[in-house]
Structure 1
């Protein structure tokens, strides 16, 4: 069967997953899109409540960002909306900035939400411009696990008051305050609400465990609406969500009054949005599909957030649950996402009055079950047995998230990761690769830069002075020095001087042409070449040094 889409008819960055599209994929894409929609639409509405935002904000997040990612994203089956981690960080950011929505005025935070989502998108696009995709992915799995445990515990506890009959959401206030709110909620617990909450949780857990292909979220939403419509649920004290307006999201401009206060949270959300999207994209990629381009994902996710911001959406990222459903239903390309978007548009246009009958406890149960899976204690225990360092990083990050706050946990996690990466890079990796007479060859296993130049200098001197037999010449293999700076050249000159004081001559071999052009501008390297101590190979250097 021939393809229905010509890749030459459009730019390479537009609709990349439709390259070579086949007509026989259409049915699978439609089924996948409908299946994903049954999960992501009610789930996104539930996640909006974490930040005390109107449920339609979650619904809008299933339209604009998903549409933009479908046009630009490289993952064939990933579904992009909001996630529990992103929703929680959004709530925390709004609370920290002092612009959180209240139950009395849920619209008061929407201008700042536009600003926050726009900041997240701009930061992701900035990371794309500087090609930081691989750098962001260096954030350790231990850090991500710790953040997710902190998020899961904070949100799960924050949902308990709603499961008991309270109407406010306290997830954005942190773990400690959420615990205190649970204690207060016990005094006014509503029996009917508790029964509905327990029933919803049982249905979700049972279906998740024994029938994962069945959209449990859709079933509990439909069940909650039917109970509210045809029984005396509301008269028994069960609270419903605020009325959901019908219609398409309208344009809204950002409110810049709290811009500076939103920046730290935007940074944390941008990091987590990319990490989650990259993890999902790689996790669901089939061996026959193209490799995921980190920088392409930065561009697609960033653009999805920038465009979505002006339609009052929450920050967006790839979600594993809906993406897995999408793929398991047979989705072949992002056409499935376009189907999900169409379904979300129909819901927003025509089902507002029906959605308004949804009990708050039903949404809280959906959030509770979703985030409980983030508290991965078995994985933490496994790491304690295999890698104590990763265990302690994850545990410390989680404890910081629970005690100080989730934004602080993300910041500490990023800093810890960078420290560990720098520590690893700063450890000299040197190997003796040959000896001829009193001359030895040393291979520089890592490139030199400002932070590790001194450590490598000391290590080279130590190797040269601790050999079983005296050494009079060191041939340094520097083939990894594609780029040299003044700092590196000064360090090499200092190494030459120190070895010379010990009666050892420094020779250099295999310096790349790009680096040699720069090095020749210094009098030290020009003298090195003049003295015949610059060579094309280590063997040539050993021969010359031992002559």
Structure 2
């Protein structure tokens, strides 16, 4: 006998379709195997196979310019972000090497620039200051592995549970926390701080030790960075050769402002350095030269000198548990958001593939002493403005970093710490502008509570706790909203009795079952004689078993009092649930 499928067509008619010749159903593994081992899947998982055959020599010059421009931005930023994470400056260079190579193979957005960012650096800071640089490399590997799993199994939908309001609150708290860590360098102070409040307290405790030279250098560098950024908005009119040269020069100064600022400040430090004076600028000092060694990420923490085990693998997992959850979350949200922003609606962004690319960048990078990386908004903007054509620009950027690590680190000795602090604050302002100020224009009042909860929790008790508390608050708010859907009650009174029309304005799910029942009973109790109750379900797209049973219970209760019960405008999905519980005392019509 052939299987029969029934499809509802109109209110009172059914169309019966007979399925003929259906073959044996394929197993889950067979289906997955066929999807994986096909050309379409290969091309989607290795985007380089799509753009490389179409690559033209003309594209190479554009990618060289873009890669070099991003490299000029990345080198000083990487040194600065390493200090934000509590690491020696060379770790910033290490974290900037592999992302460009890996993303060129796996990334699907031509302009996305991968590398260290302030958000991830501040997230690893508590663990690094407690356990040392090894834990940063461990977190790079574990977070990358989690990202790979999420991407490969298309589990990115879990991120839908983290609202934009929570992310904006987290970013705002992180921005203030990052900025607070740089106050000591901006004012030439030397103290240890843990969190935003502690940093502010420490600043005021040490305010009498502020160094004038560092303060002037830091503030001047900040003003210069803002000025060069604003210069990029200047438009030069005309089509003459002179106009084009001036326009390109303005673009270069604005784009390479971080490198220009840092190296000019370093030149001033060299010129004013006096070996016998205590008033010298505080310098970044010696940086380990050369490339990072290829090594397996540490799965236990050991004393570098004695080899003694400090934390075993289970202890390390326990100590970094919060960070292992937060780091992949922040990295994925940052990268996917940037990819979508710069795709500009011209090309659909494959979120799963972007997650895979970020995860692979971290896993591979961990074998070269990298700390966690993701996409950078400021450097992606530089890439796009530079006329990038393909992800080869990221390879060029990585080569620039390799050359800097191999040959230029001795010259970084004289970089003032105040200038790096200015670079970080400048980058944080760009981050806030993109992640906080712009989204705030579309923020609803209902979003202010999770935003504020995340912001203040993150600022006062730690960023990891802030995003967790904010997420739970927002989920609770959504659950409460589901438990209290708007319900309109209309009553038509005649001599024979009253007709009560109950119209839920949203879907009905189990948290609302008792509330819905009480609202209906209360409305009925106010009338002297009710002859008919009508449930208008026009707005109920979703009806679960609990609320369907509530409807059945109400209809049975009313039927015992000789009250006619109707359910009108029933959606197909709601109808399936109602038919499953068989409400005998309810007449149903569909929409």
Q: TM-score range by the shorter chain?
A: 0.7 to 0.9
Q: Deviations over 1:52-82 (max 9, x none)?
A: 2012221122222343333323333221222
> What TM-score do the two structures reach when normalised by structure 2?
0.73
Gaps of 5+ in 2: 1-38, 234-250, 301-312
Could you say which residue in structure 2 is the equivalent of 1:368?
425
Distance change (3 Å), C-alpha of 1:157 and 1:246: same
Could you say which residue in structure 2 is the equivalent of 1:350?
407
Could you say which residue in structure 2 is the equivalent of 1:299?
356
Could you say which residue in structure 1 is the equivalent of 2:258?
217
Q: Distance in 1 between matches of 2:154 and 2:532?
A: 45
Distance change (3 Å), C-alpha of 1:81 and 1:137: farther
Deviation at 1:132, TM superposition (A): 4.7
1:14 aligns with 2:46: yes
Could you say which residue in structure 2 is the equivalent of 1:202?
223
Distance change (3 Å), C-alpha of 1:448 and 1:367: same
Gaps of 5+ in 1: 1-6, 100-108, 539-547
Quick check: 336-345 or 456-465, which moved more?
456-465
Deviation at 1:190, TM superposition (A): 3.3
SS of 2:375 mapped into structure 1: strand
If you compute each CA radius of gyration, which structure gives the higher value, 1 or 2?
A: 2
Alignment of 1:457-536 (within 5 A): 472=532, 474=534, 477=537, 487=546, 490-501=549-560, 503-505=563-565, 507=567, 512=572, 516=576, 524-525=581-582, 528=584
8 A Cα contact 2:113 2:376, kept in partner: yes
Deviation at 1:430, TM superposition (A): 6.5
Q: Distance in 2 between matches of 1:461 and 1:304?
A: 59
1:250 aligns with 2:294: yes
Q: Distance in 2 between matches of 1:329 and 1:277?
A: 20
8 A Cα contact 1:82 1:316, kept in partner: yes
SS of 1:472 mapped into structure 2: strand
8 A Cα contact 2:168 2:439, kept in partner: no
Deviation at 1:512, TM superposition (A): 4.9
Deviation at 1:321, TM superposition (A): 0.5
- For residue 339 of structure 2, the aligned residue among 278, 281, 284 is 281
Quick check: 215-224 or 448-457, which moved more?
448-457
Distance change (3 Å), C-alpha of 1:410 and 1:210: same
Q: Distance in 1 between matches of 2:523 and 2:102?
A: 56
8 A Cα contact 2:165 2:443, kept in partner: no
Distance change (3 Å), C-alpha of 1:298 and 1:156: same
Measured on the aligned residues, the alpha-carbon RMSD in Å equals 4.2
Q: Distance in 2 between matches of 1:77 and 1:395?
A: 33
Deviation at 1:47, TM superposition (A): 0.8
* Residues paired across the two proteins, number: 509
Could you say which residue in structure 2 is the equivalent of 1:113?
136
Q: Distance in 2 between matches of 1:180 and 1:198?
A: 21
Q: Distance in 2 between matches of 1:285 and 1:352?
A: 36
- For residue 166 of structure 1, the aligned residue among 168, 181, 189 is 189
- For residue 149 of structure 1, the aligned residue among 169, 172, 179 is 172
Deviation at 1:152, TM superposition (A): 2.1
Could you say which residue in structure 2 is the equivalent of 1:544?
none
Alignment of 1:69-148 (within 5 A): 69-95=103-129, 98-99=130-131, 109-128=132-151, 131-137=154-160, 139-148=162-171
8 A Cα contact 2:82 2:88, kept in partner: yes
Alignment of 1:391-410 (within 5 A): 391=448, 393-410=450-467
Could you say which residue in structure 2 is the equivalent of 1:263?
321
Deviation at 1:468, TM superposition (A): 13
8 A Cα contact 1:92 1:407, kept in partner: no
Q: Deviations over 1:139-194 (max 9, x none)?
A: 34433333233222222222121222235663xx1112212322344343334333
Q: Deviations over 1:377-411 (max 9, x none)?
A: 99779969985554454344333333222222222
8 A Cα contact 1:439 1:471, kept in partner: yes
Could you say which residue in structure 1 is the equivalent of 2:511?
451
Q: Distance in 2 between matches of 1:161 and 1:132?
A: 41
- For residue 416 of structure 1, the aligned residue among 444, 458, 473 is 473
- For residue 326 of structure 1, the aligned residue among 383, 402, 408 is 383
8 A Cα contact 1:79 1:318, kept in partner: yes
